[in-house]
Structure 1
């Protein structure tokens, strides 16, 4: 079997973890007998014309491809259609999408009809979780879909296996989107914040800023008992566009924490809460307001089991277990 993964060349961007999920999937597939096809994302109108007329045919012509993994989106629906058209014209490959974001679900509902057309031209898709799958089915996506469960995470740092239970949580991400941090006022719990755009208008007894690190270095600095997966301005729920999106997506920061063996703390209405509770790798809460009390009711034995499970999941992530399992399931259709 000649299996390929199609990758857009974006380059690593300093401390920005944006492209890491795609880079990790490519790595794990290449480590497991996939071959790589790369293209550089065109920027100007001339580049786009050259891409369609010259680069795409040259990329696919003459290659014997049985299956092709395409990581969606590439942030141009028009170019995505051109890629699919070239694959269908020049190969007989089974075309599978790995979905990183559904634009019409996340932020742009006006794109639904175009995304529906694109998705239904594939031979199958790997989606984040059952809730995303159910949403897509309700929007008349008819191709086979497989639940990824959670994103893998290539983590070169030593697994943190010895943390004990303390009232400490870490939060990593773009802090400009985390307005809830400004409202934290716990008496016993401390939040350690990592990432860009920190606003120091916080309660210093509850929030400690730790700076910004590269994705491959960050987990070495995470020493807290839980990793927080939250979004928006409110302590009572995940709100706003990206807070609503959490009802359907798997935030990559969840994989960051688990790859380091750190149990997760998240909103109980987030889609990722299903994975967290089913695998006993953390807790899900309705609000962050009463976190002091919530953490007080977790026993050492309960935490030790969460920690053990998080480490087990983390080691799976480090070898690409979840993407390889999903690809195998999808290819069986």
Structure 2
């Protein structure tokens, strides 16, 4: 039996999309002896239809019955390509594991009426096992028609290449770090921080730069390997959506009810505590491991951090450093894949 992991050649950018999948490929291959199979990106629908059969035949030529193929989804190769890939794997009697990074039909508002949550989730019935981020996502899968076996990740790991490692300053300071796509994070410009400073990391527009308020500082855009040493103090903020308050129609914030935001892993790998929405799927993980606090809205930030003592902050920081080692070495990825393999064997 040979184990393979699908690696799609996504463009390396200063964001989490390619980072998370690259890390899974690395930990699966280095920790668990999976062989990476590189697939090219197929940007046009025409190319996907014309080239799919040829590419799949070439990539799967050495696959045999009872081999294992770990496929990270969404593949962004198109539904036509992915369907043909799975059909070929089934014909070869290869066992398949889906490692789910995102549920795009839930994450983005689709225009086509046939693209709904049940359609995307039921598609995963073509896999033998799925690895989902957390128990909330597992419940979502069950509710929307998935009938197969489920393994749970817990939190995304975060590989850091060999650099001079620096944990943050061991002192409580009222600094809030936010890393992400600043262009879509309009809620940041609704804040008026008086009693804390807000440090921003990521892509920003010229117009947004001109709107920076007192106590708000733009720190720059860095690749995922560099930024862990740029976040040096305070807390990491996890929030998404259109407003500093949660609303029922805020699709992006409500997505955090089932999703594991990759920025949580960034902050914890950097060794800083996290501030996260109280209804986020990862909120129980943060509280259980004592590596942060929950907030009901962004207006809660100062109230929450002002009630944290120096000793409490240092304890959360110490706990974050312990988690950091696990995240940097692929602890959660390795465990989830091992559990998925046991499910394949019927355990």
> In which range does the TM-score fall when normalised by the shorter chain?
over 0.9
Instruction: Describe the shift of the 1:180–1:11 C-alpha distance in structure 2 as closer, same or farther (beyond 3 A).
Output: closer
Offset of residue 112 of structure 1: 3.2
Q: For 1:232 and 1:55, how far apart are their aligned partners in 2?
A: 38
Question: Which deviates the most, 48-57 or 116-125?
Answer: 48-57
1:22 aligns with 2:26: no
Instruction: Describe the shift of the 1:48–1:5 C-alpha distance in structure 2 as closer, same or farther (beyond 3 A).
Output: same
Q: Which residue of 2 aligns with 1:6?
A: 6
Offset of residue 200 of structure 1: 3.0
TM-score by length of 2: 0.90
Match of residue 248, structure 1, among 242, 258, 268: 258
Q: Which residue of 2 aligns with 1:77?
A: 79
Q: Which residue of 2 aligns with 1:122?
A: 127
Question: Any conservation in 2 of the 1:165–1:300 contact (CA below 8 Å)?
Answer: yes
Unaligned runs of 5+ in 1: none
Instruction: List aligned pairs for 1:139-218, cutoff 5 A.
Output: 139-156=144-161, 157=163, 158-198=165-205, 199-200=208-209, 202=211, 204-218=213-227
TM-score by length of 1: 0.93
Instruction: Describe the shift of the 1:45–1:245 C-alpha distance in structure 2 as closer, same or farther (beyond 3 A).
Output: closer
Match of residue 228, structure 2, among 219, 224, 228: 219
Q: Which residue of 1 aligns with 2:302?
A: 292
CA offsets per residue over residues 178-235 of structure 1, 9 Å max, x none?
1111121122111100111241354632311111111211111111211111112322
Q: For 1:26 and 1:215, how far apart are their aligned partners in 2?
A: 16
Q: For 1:52 and 1:60, how far apart are their aligned partners in 2?
A: 12
Instruction: Describe the shift of the 1:37–1:279 C-alpha distance in structure 2 as closer, same or farther (beyond 3 A).
Output: same
Offset of residue 176 of structure 1: 1.5
Offset of residue 268 of structure 1: 0.5
RMSD: 1.8
Offset of residue 243 of structure 1: 1.0
Question: Any conservation in 2 of the 1:169–1:190 contact (CA below 8 Å)?
Answer: yes
Instruction: Describe the shift of the 1:161–1:44 C-alpha distance in structure 2 as closer, same or farther (beyond 3 A).
Output: closer
What SS class does the counterpart of residue 290 from structure 1 fall into?
Answer: helix
What SS class does the counterpart of residue 309 from structure 1 fall into?
Answer: helix
